[in-house]
A and B are shown apart, each in its own frame.
Chain A
């Protein structure tokens, strides 16, 4: 397996590696994949009041293409609105990183990780709104 220059570049200098506080209501966490399948991605977003992703972090267990796909995903979603980020397709990642067919699942996983982080963020927001509403009703 020979890697494209872009995969190698992301692999050697991964962007946005790290951890955000998953208890923070403005943080959404996506954990996708499985150790038994050889890849697990955790992607986190921190969303500001305008609905813009102001920070993103990842950690990935996987091959070079999986690490590069998640690194690229965090780079792309930073500064985008949640809706814009949700529209990112795996095919764009495949194209950007020049992934061979056997590595397409890495890009699928990165797309899933973004969607899963957004879903977690939205769930937290709606839980929060309903608890605020409940608090207001109780006033």
Chain B
């Protein structure tokens, strides 16, 4: 098959809906359009059955015992907000302290900032140069007032997989609730709420070949039974934790996407890892001064985050414009600050500006990987010829010794 441009290699940002997922969804837009809360007729029953089946599929993927533990939301941002604010408010008489990490998604960090403004205290744990949090740091940070620990399963920029099983042992032993934003790792790396003692987990369908606009919060129902205060008041849907008419077509698609990952996730991860290593090796064979950001060992199979020294990330993205990737460069954000995740690893600002994130997914091929590797190598070489830093480096000037005039 001929190579089609543009190539999508940004599967951490979103993923296309799998055709099998779309097939599952379509009837619920037209013939099976009932409201899952209508208890008095067939249309409602049909919709409710679809939702229940989807819940079971979601639960199975994450090792949850019961579909009732799946609270459907609009996506992971809502799930993160509901988990943190909902637990903080419900447990405010027990304590006011939360623990998280500096490399979390903004949906966690900004929610924590808001909680701090309303009187809660938050400890932000640092990570090592490999991007991982030390479980002993979690243990040391727990106080009598600690009500919740939130650590992501896998990072969205560098793909680093966190040691949830070790952290879960600690939180269970200390009787502190444990939440994880599991969006990036679900179906790609091992995740089991029972084995890892996870009490709450945020999921998103569109990161796993399902539709946008639907996600879930897993809320443990037994040992311990987790309760929280709802953000959305109304008809009392989702066991009172999230009111609002259920988006049945999206939920059906979400369920199907989970089922596919339960069946195929392991094989898919092996394939993605092989593609990732092919991409890495092919770039490394053509270029010097390329660095991998984050742990290679504890990493999502489809993630490759590289810094191309002496070349600026946004400039490089412009040169490979037929390939969709993303960069930790400041220039891609409106804040002009480089990636806080890369900074947390101790990657210097200069290399953070030079970073590109490749996110491989279900529909990428070997041909695409080879094309992208060769294109990147060619364009990096060209941009280095344009780079005063590369010239200085070749003249033997230590760039750190130069007195730069920041502006």
Contact = CB atoms under 8 A, between A and B. Distances in A.
Interface of A: 1, 3, 8, 11, 14, 17, 19, 31-42, 59-64, 66-67, 102, 105, 108-109, 112
A48 B353 CA distance: 38
B318 A33 contact: no
Contact of B310 (A11, A61, A63, A67): A61
B312 A38 contact: yes
A63 to B, nearest CB: 4
A38 B404 CA distance: 12
Contact of A59 (B311, B329, B391): B391
A38 to B, nearest CB: 4
Chain A CB within 10 Å, residue with most, of B331, B349, B404, B406: B331
A63 B329 contact: yes
Given A64-B315, A66-B312, 13 more contacts: A1-B331, A3-B318, A17-B386, A31-B388, A31-B405, A33-B406, A35-B350, A36-B348, A36-B349, A36-B404, A38-B349, A61-B386, A61-B389
A17 B385 contact: yes
A33 B311 contact: no
A35 to B, nearest CB: 4
B334 A105 contact: no
A37 B407 contact: yes
Contacts of B389: 35, 40, 61
A102 B333 CA distance: 9
Contacts of A61: 310-312, 315, 386-390
B331 A38 contact: yes
Contacts, number: 95
A67 B315 contact: yes
B331 to A, nearest CB: 4
Give the contact-size bracket for chain B.
20 to 34
B404 A60 contact: no
Contacts of A42: 388
A109 B318 contact: no
Contacts of A66: 312, 315
B338 A38 contact: yes
A38 B329 CA distance: 7
A3 to B, nearest CB: 7
B406 A39 contact: no
A109 B388 CA distance: 15
B314 interface: yes
B353 A38 contact: yes
B314 A59 contact: no
A72 B389 CA distance: 20
A11 B318 CA distance: 9
A10 to B, nearest CB: 11
Contacts of A19: 391
B332 interface: yes
Interface string B304-320: 00000011101100110
B405 A63 contact: no
23 contacts: A8-B318, A17-B386, A31-B388, A34-B407, A35-B349, A35-B350, A35-B389, A36-B350, A36-B406, A37-B353, A38-B312, A42-B388, A60-B386, A60-B387, A61-B389, A63-B314, A63-B329, A64-B318, A66-B315, A102-B334, A105-B336, A109-B407, A112-B407
A63 B407 contact: no
A11 B387 CA distance: 13
A64 B379 CA distance: 13
A107 to B, nearest CB: 12
A24 B377 CA distance: 35
Contact of A34 (B318, B391, B404): B404
Nearest to A35: B350
A67 B312 CA distance: 11
B330 interface: yes
Given A32-B405, A35-B350, A35-B353, A1 B332 contact: yes
A37 B406 contact: yes
A1 B338 CA distance: 16
Given A17-B386, A63-B331, A35 B314 contact: no
A115 B360 CA distance: 45
Nearest to B310: A61
Contact of A63 (B318, B348, B386, B391): B318
B386 A34 contact: no
A33 B390 CA distance: 15
Top 6 A-B residue pairs of the complex, sorted by shortest distance between their CB atoms: A34-B404, A36-B349, A35-B350, A42-B388, A63-B314, A38-B353
Contact of A33 (B310, B338, B391, B404): B404
B399 interface: yes
A59 B310 CA distance: 12
B407 A32 contact: yes
Contacts of B314: 1, 38, 63-64
Nearest to B349: A36
Contact of B315 (A36, A62, A109): A62
A38 B314 CA distance: 9
